[in-house]
Amino acid sequence: MKKYNAITFAAFTPAGTYSRPEVMDSLNAALDTGANMIVLAPTGYQATPHSEEITYNETCTDEELINMAEYIHSKGVQVCLKPITQCKDGTWRAFINFFDKDVVCEPKWSNWFKSYTAFICHYAELAEKVNAEMFIAGCEMVMSERREAEWRQVIADIKKVYSGPVCYNTDKYQEDNVQWWDAVDIIGASGYYPIDNWEEQLDRIEAVVKKFNRPFFFAEYGCMSVEGSSNIPNKWDLPGGINLQEQADWYAAAHEAINKRDWIIGTCVWDWAAVLYKKEQAVENRGYDTYGKPAELEIRKQFKG
């Protein structure tokens, strides 16, 4: 099976972003890494982790997504749609949660899943329209993952309108907690593991892959260029000085471990900005960005190797 060498491009961007010429320059730079898949991530918003309604009128428009997908395909590169739910109050989506038993006058899972299904199936229909090569049904929705029946129904509803492979992106360390992997075509997870812990975590994940007999995709992986980030790559607000080499070393270690496992069908870099800084400013960038940094060379080596 051909491996997915993917990059998440321009996540969380508002409507109108894709039409800016500098965005296309950034996309072309991402394609130049050797990526064979670009993941586009339209955003749904809810007010708080306890809100029942998800809206998606502030994210990139359907027309923008269609045009972007067509351009990516014209370059011979695959497209994946990965709609992501965000809380407007800044709470991480993993904490979206409700009572397991319905209570009168309290927000309910049933209402939230109804809204989520409308949101996710809208983009599943769009994925079918643009012939996307993969669709990701959710991202790091940790507290909701115990609602097995509802997630099975969400996946079933997606499959009614989208004919390609469906993945779900759980969070790091959660791979063996999801009990409905048989409902999707690809097991997905966010690979933010410490630099010296990859082998142990991959051994754990391999047991899940064997149990459910599904291929595995790191739907996200990445590390900031900050001192200490290689030991806790998921901490986006980690304090510390800039260290470009530490980021590169983390990618090198991740690739060395991942390449030993034939059940991993690909990885997806998190993330590539809609508008790039100037290459000479890379030494001042402490984020997950890899453009112009030693980590970009590690990614190029992985993607083109």
**pLDDT for the residue numbered 1:** 56
Q: What is the pLDDT of residues 138-180, one digit of tens each?
A: 999 999 999 999 999 999 999 999 999 999 999 999 999 999 9
**pLDDT for the residue numbered 52:** 98
Rounded CA separation 292/276 (Å)? 10
The CA–CA distances, whole Å, from 191 to 169, 183, 227, 255 equal 10, 21, 19, 11
Rounded CA separation 247/31 (Å)? 21
Burial class of residue 207 (count of CB atoms within 10 Å of its CB; 0-12, 13-18, 19+): exposed
Please, where are the H alpha helices in 233-304? 244-258, 294-304
pLDDT surpassing 90 at residue 239: yes
In the chain, the percentage of residues whose pLDDT exceeds 70 is: 99
**pLDDT for the residue numbered 305:** 80
Q: What is the pLDDT of residues 278-288, one digit of tens each?
A: 999 999 999 99
Q: What is the pLDDT of residues 207-220, one digit of tens each?
A: 999 999 999 999 99
Rounded CA separation 201/147 (Å)? 25
Per-residue confidence band for 253, with pLDDT thresholds at 50, 70 and 90: very high
In the chain, the percentage of residues whose pLDDT exceeds 90 is: 99
**pLDDT for the residue numbered 92:** 97
The residue with tokens 């907690």 is: 177
Q: What is the pLDDT of residues 61-113, one digit of tens each?
A: 999 999 999 999 999 999 999 999 999 999 999 999 999 999 999 999 999 99
Average pLDDT of the residues of the chain: 97
